[in-house]
Chains A and B, each alone.
Chain A
């Protein structure tokens, strides 16, 4: 008798109409049918021969094809006489040594950066994401890394409006002098005065569109990530808000700058105090398994959640919003994607957030 063993680094996430196979070692995910999922469940209980026997003759061939597919992709292996129990299941614990993984800042005045800098003497912040509502001068862009010199901050990501002095010479200067910037996104970028240079130490993106911070929260395939940390985090915590802290344009400290609840202002309180405040972390433990519709979605562990903009249809006993993210156009029940912003069912929530309704 032959037995099929799934490798522990292969995660099957069952959705309402399909499954997602995530390979945590090769960092890729692929969609497959529910039939394949049911087969893998059968193969946990019975030998390959017994499983084939249970199905009718026509299905036998399909089962062999499925098993061949699983073996070809090295999702599992075959053992003889019994399942191989010397291999242990992977733990899905998420244990990270950061206090704050990312600080999301809506920036106008640089003085707030100095405030954040002094907070870093006591709390470690790994990454800083800056959305600037105004153009940043070349001096200001150059200064960013300098402000955080000698801190445990590992990376800075910047969104700012484009202007014509951001050219190749400046970008390579910035790449040479700043060590922490890993991503620069230029918005409002009509004509470009730079070439997309692969030698830069940061990734460079640009868009014609005028981006506001309210653009955030998009759910799209391009934002799905398959890797250990991503999946361990989303299995245990909220995949966007866990270990996140936000400061909005007025200096209000929030879990995310786009959420309504605030916990004091950077002018008169410290990030450290805010972290200890009741309610600040209320969404940190809300996983996708407890969000309506998402809990039936095969992408739930590789997707990043949004609690700032939701369909506003569900609330749990603790008063947490457990509705599907507003900007998700995926329907796990049909397996189809559609444009979220023209969905009539989302109009009410869109009006609530003051989003323009497209006709």
Chain B
């Protein structure tokens, strides 16, 4: 039995599930708001929510897509009882999660938060080229037009930022100096790029797509700004073996066995690592490059 931890509305999960039916693989899908109770029946641990009920021993593989297993934690009247019971419940929950993660899996619930800063340090350590970066609360040492800023948080959506639109924190070029001090901000050297590369990594295998966004002013800095009239060119691409090798080391160090990885190929021919996202979207490159990644995932589970 496959355990899929995802969101009820996740389109990608639906696409993978369609393939699981083709492969005749059984699965249990857990939604984001589902709360589980840990029960014991005949010495076996049973997880039970309003929608699902299963023994953890019956799970053979786990896909951590979104959300994760959440537990209904009980409160107790007596403060010190509550403290002990809180710890007791944590122990059980932690045991369940670690047990599930010890099975065949795609990513881990206990390791789902990325830290862009730590990842960049690790990327440097494994020998990948990383554009020079630093944190600052002023623009004193910023080379205008040659420095970008981006969010270090995973979540980049800002609800109702504009009168009738939400906002999003894409990568931007710093084009003017600021007089006032601001909250510590991530800055990075802007690389003159030949093209961008979006990779999908699964257990040592890498599928890559070159994105030619350079021809288009609108998408030059951040290819996620979509140009409806003239979409970027996306081409199947193979990374040089040494870059592939370093990606594998980096992913192993980060303890991710699946994720999306972004690179820039600079005009001087270097491959600059930008970031890793373990829960990134991959259907885009799967469709455009006809990689059938949803089938690969279903096959792996």
A-side residues, CB < 8 A to B, are 7-9, 25-26, 74, 77, 86-93, 95, 97-99, 124, 152, 228, 232
Contact = CB atoms under 8 A, between A and B. Distances in A.
A86 B265 CA distance: 12
A312 to B, nearest CB: 36
A92 B236 CA distance: 12
Contacts of A99: 22
A97 B22 contact: yes
B290 interface: yes
A87 B231 contact: no
Contacts of B70: none
Contact of B287 (A26, A97, A228): A228
Given A9-B235, A87-B210, A92-B290, A97 B18 contact: yes
A26 B230 contact: yes
Contacts, number: 56
Given A92-B290, A232-B290, A97 B235 contact: no
A127 B238 CA distance: 37
Contact of A95 (B215, B231, B233, B295): B295
A9 B21 contact: no
B236 A8 contact: yes
Contacts of A232: 290
B233 A74 contact: yes
Given A95-B295, A124-B21, A88 B236 contact: yes
Interface of B: 15, 18-19, 21-22, 210, 212, 215, 230-231, 233-238, 287-290, 292, 294-295
Contacts of B18: 97-98, 124, 152
Contact of B233 (A9, A86, A124): A9
A9 B292 contact: no
B238 A91 contact: no
Contact of A93 (B210, B235, B292): B292
B235 A8 contact: yes
Nearest to A123: B21
A9 B232 CA distance: 11
B233 A7 contact: yes
Nearest to B234: A25
A91 B287 CA distance: 11
B292 A25 contact: no
A25 B230 CA distance: 9
Nearest to B292: A95
Contact of A87 (B21, B235, B292): B235
Contacts of A91: 236, 290
B238 A86 contact: yes
Nearest to B239: A86
B236 A89 contact: yes
Contacts of A90: 236, 289-290
A121 to B, nearest CB: 12
Contacts of B289: 90
A97 B212 CA distance: 30
Q: Which 4 pairs across A and B sit closest by C-beta, in order of nearness? A: A97-B18, A88-B236, A87-B235, A95-B292
A74 B290 CA distance: 20
Given A7-B235, A26-B231, A92-B290, 5 more contacts: A86-B237, A90-B289, A97-B294, A97-B295, A124-B21
Contacts of A77: 212
A68 B15 CA distance: 41
Contact of B237 (A25, A87, A92, A98): A87
Contacts of B215: 74
A97 B18 CA distance: 6
Nearest to B295: A95
Contacts of B295: 95, 97
15 contacts: A7-B235, A9-B233, A9-B234, A9-B288, A25-B231, A25-B233, A25-B288, A86-B210, A86-B238, A91-B236, A91-B290, A93-B290, A97-B295, A228-B288, A228-B290
A92 B22 CA distance: 21
A87 B231 CA distance: 18
Contacts of B235: 7-9, 87-88
Nearest to B288: A25
A97 B15 contact: yes
B23 to A, nearest CB: 10
A283 to B, nearest CB: 22
B124 to A, nearest CB: 25
B271 to A, nearest CB: 11
B261 to A, nearest CB: 17
Contacts of B210: 86-87
Which of B22, B212, B290 has most A Cβ within 10 Å? B290
